[in-house]
Amino acid sequence: MASARLEYGTSAFDQGVDRLLASYRKIPDGAGIRLAKKTSNLFRKRAKNPAPGLDVSGLHRVISVDPQARTAQVAGMCTYEDLVDATLTYGLAPTVVPQLKTITLGGAVTGLGIESTSFRNGLPHEAVREIEILTATGDLVVARPDNEYADLFFGFPNSYGTLGYSVRLEIELEKVPAFVELRHVRFGSIEDLQAQMIAIVDSGEYRGERVDYLDGVVFTRDECYLVLGRQTDEAGPVSDYTGDQIFYRSIQHDDVDEPKRDRLTIRDYLWRWDTDWFWCSRAFGAQNPTIRRFWPKKYLRSSFYWKLIGYDHRWNIGDKLNARKGQPPSERVVQDIEVPIERTADFVNWFLDEIPIEPIWLCPLRLREPAVAGADPQQPWPLYPLEPGRAYTNVGFWSGVPVTPGKPGHANRRIELKVSELGGHKSLYSESFYPEDEFDQLYGSQAYRALKEKYDPRGRLLSLYEKTVKRA
């Protein structure tokens, strides 16, 4: 092999950039800018926009992988499914692989992604070395932590496409073995789980065995689990949760003293949640054994459930079915929030008392140490200001509750207030109900306004508040 750098789609990527720039030039001067794409992993409804958008159809590839340097060059619209397929060939994986196959690398960086490596690897944007960004002025700039676009590099995460769009990213990869050995540890209280989770984050082990992956599931107040994964090349039988068997149900057992063990291939581990979209496939009947037996395996994946969600959004199918049963319409409560890890039990106990949704997902995280060179040591990522050196717990819950008459978004707003009370934040991929002054305090308004003025002086992209709260 002449070079360690293995080229996949350089020519196609270059052509894709040409189409992107050509589509930008076709947008009338002064008109708003948006992406022309049919799919999204966002859970907030957006205003219909008939205007032409940016053509990103050629930006969905892995451009190259360098197995020696453990890096990859990736187009912004490349899905993690395609990225993982390319890197696993060389025993490598992104440092953080969000749970759903159709999440794009660019989306996880300009939004936020998280997974069970986040307690040791932080968030996806922390593995980025450089980002090539199309700004609102039509310029292609390469932002790195040590160049003239460093402010954009650090301000890009959590900007949700309001400062520009990622065209190409260079990311770090980590070496991964063939298998993951799992231990499902049951706890009788959220407080006990919290204490052990803190200990694992601090030590990287449980009962003398290394922990490489860490997340958890709360079924009820007295049935909750940590799922501990250890990387291994040891041969042995593996489980399969891509068909009749359901991963989150496999976690459950009765013994609080002895963990339940399991094994998966590394690829099946990375996508263990995708087959049933965690547990959300039950809303479509896909967990009913009779229905599942005839459900085509190729449709047991989050991308297909997204299509069903799209139909529901378009025709309000769920609310119409509720009305036939004499039930009120539902308020969607689809959120991921972060609270300091020592406040996990406070939030979860409040949530179980006040919001009738189960199960819920737990995923600890801590910003990488050392931080990216050049970052502000107090606030490295200003639009989502997590505190360096501090551990947090992401809590994910994805369902609905009966609407409160006359109070749109009532349950979601109560969650926002509780999260702020506990010193946390929430991700902005779903519906938000913050007043603008409160939003500004939480999401780096001073830094954001400076970036907006510099890189979008004519306001051709929506502001962060317009896009994530007003849903413009």
User: What is the pLDDT at residue 306?
Assistant: 79
Q: Which of 341-345, 401-405, 468-472 has the lowest mean pLDDT?
A: 468-472
Q: Which of 1-15, 112-126, 381-395 has the lowest mean pLDDT?
A: 1-15
Mean of the pLDDT values across residues 65-89? 97
Q: Mean pLDDT for the chain?
A: 92
User: What is the pLDDT at residue 38?
Assistant: 60
**What is the sign of the dihedral through the CA atoms of 271, 275, 281 and 287?**
negative
Q: Which of 156, 160, 270 has the alpha carbon at shortest distance from 213? A: 270
Residues 209 and 392: their CA atoms lie apart, in Å, by 23
Using the predicted structure, report yes or no on whether residue 47 has a pLDDT greater than 80: no
> Cα-flanking dihedrals φ and ψ of residue 247, to 5°?
-60, -50
Give the tokens for residue 395: 């809590």
Using the predicted structure, report yes or no on whether residue 5 has a pLDDT greater than 90: no
User: What is the pLDDT at residue 305?
Assistant: 84
DSSP assignment of 22-79, as one string? HHHHHSPTT----EE-S-----S------S--EE-TT--SEEEEETTTTEEEEETT-B
Q: Which residues, in sequence order, are CB contacts of 168 under 8 Å at separation 6+?
A: 13, 59, 63, 73, 74, 75, 76, 131, 132
The residue with greater pLDDT, 10 or 38, is 10
User: What is the pLDDT at residue 2?
Assistant: 38
Using the predicted structure, report yes or no on whether residue 319 has a pLDDT greater than 60: no
Give the tokens for residue 129: 């070395």
Which domains, from first to last, does the chain contain? 6-175 (3.30.465.10)
Left if phi > 0, otherwise alpha if psi is -120 to 50, otherwise beta: which for 44? beta
Using the predicted structure, report yes or no on whether residue 277 has a pLDDT greater than 70: yes
Give the tokens for residue 423: 């010193």
Residues 113 and 135: their CA atoms lie apart, in Å, by 22
Coil, helix or strand for 157?
A: coil
Residues 304 and 285: their CA atoms lie apart, in Å, by 13
pLDDT winner (highest mean) among 35-44, 203-212, 371-380: 203-212
> Cα-flanking dihedrals φ and ψ of residue 87, to 5°?
-80, -35
3-state secondary structure 237-282: CCCCCCCCCCHHHHCCCCCCCCCEEEEEEHHHHHCCCCCCCCCHHH
User: What is the pLDDT at residue 316?
Assistant: 66
Mean of the pLDDT values across residues 388-397? 97
User: What is the pLDDT at residue 241?
Assistant: 97
The predicted model scores a pTM of: 0.93
Q: Which pLDDT band, with edges at 50, 70 and 90, does 1 fall under? A: very low
Residue 326 exposure: Cα atoms within 13 Å on the Cβ side? 0
Residues 407 and 197: their CA atoms lie apart, in Å, by 36
Using the predicted structure, report yes or no on whether residue 45 has a pLDDT greater than 60: no
User: What is the pLDDT at residue 190?
Assistant: 98
> Cα-flanking dihedrals φ and ψ of residue 404, to 5°?
-95, 115
